[in-house]
Amino acid sequence: MPLARSLSVTSLSGLEEWDEEFDREDAVLFEIAWEVANKGVHVSFLGYDVSMLMYHCTHLHAYLQRSTLKFKFRVYFGRWLIEGSPYVILLDVGFTAWSLDRWKIELWENFSIGVPWFDREANDAVLFGFLTAWLLGEVCTQCDEPPHIVAHFHEWLAGLGLVLCRQRQLPVATIFTTHATLLGRYLCAGSVDFYNKLAEFNVDKEAGDRQIYHRYCLERAAARCAHVFTTVSQITAVEAEHLLKRKPDIVTPNGLNVKKFSAMHEFQNLHAQSKARIQEFVRGHFYGHLDFNLDKTVFLFIAGRYEFSNKGADLFLEALARLNYLLRVNHSEVTIIAFFIMPARTNNFNVETLKGQAVRKQLWDTAQTVKERFGKKLYESLLVGQLPDVSKMLDKEDFTMMKRAIFATQRQCLPPICTHNMLEDSSDPILNCIRRIGLFNSAQDRVKVIFHPEFLSSTSPLLPMDYEEFVRGCHLGVFPSYYEPWGYTPAECTVMGIPSVSTNLSGFGCFMEEHIADPSAYGIYILDRRYRGVDESCNQLTSFLFQFCQQSRRQRIIQRNRTERLSDLLDWRYLGRATGFRYPRPASVPPSPAHSLHSSPHHSEAEDEEEPYDEDLEVEKDRVNIRQPFNLPNRNKNQTVGLPEKN
């Protein structure tokens, strides 16, 4: 048999032709991925998990319990604690590690793919793939009349299970979705001119040079063997065609489960509540140096996988340095606090950061004590019918308490940049870049930086907020990615009514450019990273950020309203339609100062009131542009789905 990565769809059989019409209630869908463990659920066993959403799981449960005893595998059953509570089967790859050598020999003999011993992640993928194929094989044989089975595999880590299903000729319809090609991610991280030279790469050599050839073979084999190959954006479809040597059958953008509030502006209230909690954290983090007005402070953030250049953290930092200069020379009263939420290797929280939150709490407790004492004296004075003598309301003890509290806020050092102790501080890309550009949270800086190298959690003693709460409290998400096949982070911002910066090299950015006539008017700033140099793109990002800082509170509210209305574009119910919708440019004056009559960051709220803006009219016009979703018609078995034309 030739190399697995050269297998074609027609070279393997096993799946009989399905009738066009069959009872979908008899179908079983297996969604195969690593997401249960990778979403942050702590499991009590080693290895990764596979989540499979199924219509019928009870009968399968009992059968597999008996089967695992025979084959010495460990399987867990339950419900995934997410919306919908789908059935979940967890396969313990650590428990079957004793089979690794045998299965790697089989992988080499049947597919000529060798996995080196030192690649632990690839070794786990081998265990995972063979266990998945075993599970699907058991499902196919455990019924006299097996149902129509569809197995949807995500990413290269799950791809070997698909290849084995085809090689073993299991009667399973297979789908493979690549959310980002493995080689594409490595190439972009290596600072190559990826998109302009996409057709010129020697993929085998490039994968070999980066010591990921075996991983690349697994991914390419899955793409080539799948009955249906999909990806999440048009830009990734072109990438997959060149790197994986197969054109995707269909592009399936990543959607979200959008929930609308019964009250139109409830999300604005949630923004205010979450912003207040972030402000409390900021008060503690900058204690002793809180020389800026929090009511005139704008919160920016970037979040996601710690890929310094791929995610655009390098461009963001450089733009922040330039923004800091612009704000200083223009004597702006606006302060920017930029959060970097990217997980890195740490050993604990920074002592100085924890101390800041303790000082803040102590100041709050002192203020509450003095307030209660003041209130009691005021109450007693009013009871006897006398106006209080304010000069005597606070006694010497009260002043002593307040002076001690103020003394505790004295600080000899600048507020920390990083909230944790980094294990590789001297070589960390973000910290080294901050040292180079000189953003050290000094009093002169109008841009402050906080690096939180850990995912957010409501149980954190430092910043006790879930990611969704944190996003709602920020003003702008900044995601200037160079490599971003889709972009969940800006999509989540949109659904929560938070403006964001994306790029024309991300699936999300291209999707929004396709469906919105003027994305910036709706709070979606699309950065050009495809046709501009790095310096030009950085200047454009700096301009976006500076314009955003000039907005008044009312302009930001208007823009958040518009951004939230775009959430229908990302709803799963609408993404299944064959035709899209198009948002025109808003009829009223856009909230961006670049388009308004007032370019000064100091103009008053009274001036804002004069700007014409009819929100009800805008909402009604946007609703007209949203067509009702409809079901895609059934295609005959010889019909294929073509990709959108390339740009």
The pLDDT tens digits for 632-643 are 444 443 433 333
The conformation of residue 148, written as its DSSP 8-state character, comes to P
**Distance (Å, rounded) from C-alpha 382 to C-alpha 385?**
5
**Which residues lie below 8 Å from residue 291, measured CB to CB, with a gap of 6+?**
443
User: Would you place residue 335 in the very low, low, confident or very high pLDDT band (cuts 50, 70, 90)?
Assistant: very high
Query: 288-292, 343-347, 393-397, 519-523: which range is least confident on average?
Result: 393-397
* pLDDT for residue 211: 95
Q: In whole angstroms, what is the distance from residue 592 CA to residue 548 CA?
A: 7
CA distance 551 to 481: 24
**Residue 576 contacts residue 617 (beta carbons within 8 Å):** no
Closest by CA position to 187, among listed 172, 203, 175: 203
Record the pTM.
0.84
Mean pLDDT over the full length of the chain: 83
CB hemisphere CA count around 203 (13 angstroms): 21
Tell me what pLDDT residue 18 has. Answer: 65
SS3 626: coil
What pLDDT does 596 receive? Answer: 44
Mean pLDDT for the stretch of residues 242-249: 96
Q: Which residue has the higher pLDDT, 92 or 308?
A: 308
The upper half-sphere exposure of residue 566, i.e. CA atoms within 13 Å in the direction of its Cβ, equals 36
- For residue 349, pLDDT beyond 70: yes
Higher pLDDT, 72 or 300: 300
List, in sequence order, the alpha helices (H) in 384-506.
Answer: 390-393, 396-408, 429-437, 467-473, 488-495
Chain centroid offset of residue 573 CA? 21
Residue 165 to residues 41, 161, 468, 540, 612, Cα–Cα distance (Å): 28, 6, 38, 49, 62
Query: Which pairing describes strands 500-503 and 420-422: parallel, antiparallel, or unpaired?
Result: unpaired
| Alpha carbon separation from 554 to 264, 545, 608 (Å, rounded) | 16, 17, 7
Taking the C-alpha atoms of residue 334 and residue 532, their distance in angstroms, rounded to an integer, is 29
> What's the mean pLDDT in 13-35?
72
